[in-house]
Amino acid sequence: MHCSERRFRALLVLALLSAPTASAQSSERADLRALRDQVGAIQEAVSGTALPDWLRNPPDASAGAGEALGAAERERMHRLATAQMPALPDAQATATATPTQTITLLVSRALGAAALRDIFASAARPEVRVVFRGVAEGEPLMDFMRGIHAELEGLDPMPAVALDPTPFREAGAAAVPLMILSGPDGEIARVAGLSDPAWLQAQVAAGRTGDLGVRGPVETISEPDMLEEIARRVAALDLAALREQALARYWRSAVFEHLPAAREPRTRVIDPIIEAKADIALPDGTLLVRSGERLNPLDRLAFGLRLVVFDPTEPGQIRTARRLGESAGALRPVYLATRLDREAGWEGFHALEDALDEPVYLLTADVRERFALERVPASVESADRVFLVREHPPEEPR
């Protein structure tokens, strides 16, 4: 509905409400006679009795009491006027939905950009939600969102806009716009072809509920049901191909901690002692470590591992790594690779694990820094409250 038409209808409402009719004048005279009789009865009832407190109080207090009484009377007259407001099916009404009532306005981009913008402007109310059924077939969701944001630009306040096929399904909607007013117990009224929430609220206030028919032009919904479209797209996916693509992307993007090859045997000692910078307490308040206290984690937690760090892209390092793992004795070997063959991909990775008969993990930056690793192959294990980092030159090719 255009602004000029809405303005004309609003003026018509005001004219109808303000014009005194013969029946209204008669009603006013009857009210005045009743008021006169009430005054006489009140005067007779209070004759000879003590004045109430609000009459004996200073002017400021009596004025406040009068204002309170006046406010209560205005509220009563407002409720009376609202209850007696005539129904105007073709005009804008001033009725509003109760807090428990909401309006769902089903729309489609088939209505056109200009119509949608008018709908967004009239729907910028807390009880109204504008809903689309889905996006165009093959359209990316982000493109849909950008298009809707463009239509909303400059509107203040902003309407609530959602993408949800559920209300379309529940209403059996095939054409829009379709307005549905609902309460705690479900749908109260609906109308097709109109998009002014105040009109539907006024009809319900006047007692008109249910399907109020088609009152304006409608368009067939152009967007498919979003849930059906998702199911269709998923069914069309080649999941096996997607899996292979994802695996291939991993090897292209994997980050490696590459280290140079060791040239000669070397052993270094890493002291794990740390100094507490503040008190450390358990959840129950028990003090575990005092500030400034120096402690060695190996005193409290045994390190029963032998870390074997190597470069699997060099066959000599693989043989050295296997020898270090097999000679670990009571220690459990953990193989850490500094890099892998990207071209060989997962097949090469599985072949490496088969050759070592153990899982293989990638060396991370924090482990490299913690043990000050510089060259590989290298092994890390604990001895006498310290860590020993040994570098082993790789075996020569056979």
- Whether residue 217 has a cis bond before it, omega within 30° of 0: no
Indicate the Cα dihedral angle 365, 371, 373, 377, nearest 10°. Answer: -110
What is the identity of the amino acid at 195?
S
The listed range with the strongest mean pLDDT (9-13, 81-85, 332-336) is 332-336
Quote the pLDDT of residue 398: 57
Instruction: Find all residues with CB under 8 Å of 295, minimum gap 6, and list them.
Output: 273, 274, 276, 289
d(CA 247, CA 232): 25
Quote the pLDDT of residue 249: 80
State the DSSP code for 261: B
For 117-169, the pLDDT digits (tens) are 999 999 999 999 999 999 988 888 899 999 898 888 888 889 999 999 999 99
d(CA 366, CA 344): 26
Contact status, residue 262 vs residue 375, Cβ threshold 8 Å: yes
**What region, left, alpha or beta, does residue 225 occupy, with left being phi > 0 and alpha being psi -120 to 50 degrees?**
beta
Q: Is the Cα dihedral 93, 96, 101, 103 positive or negative?
A: positive
Confidence of residue 15 (pLDDT cuts 50, 70, 90): very low
For 237-260, the pLDDT digits (tens) are 777 787 777 777 887 788 899 999
Q: 178, 97, 101, 100: which is closest to 132 by C-alpha?
A: 178
d(CA 382, CA 389): 9
pTM over 0.75: no
Average pLDDT along the chain: 79
Contact status, residue 181 vs residue 101, Cβ threshold 8 Å: yes
Between 308 and 61, residue with greater pLDDT: 308
For 355-379, the pLDDT digits (tens) are 999 999 999 999 999 999 999 999 9
- Whether residue 224 has a cis bond before it, omega within 30° of 0: no
d(CA 195, CA 51): 58
d(CA 201, CA 206): 9
Sketch out the chain's domains with CATH numbers: 102-226 (3.40.30), 266-391 (3.40.30)
CA atoms in the 13 A half-sphere facing the CB of 235: 6
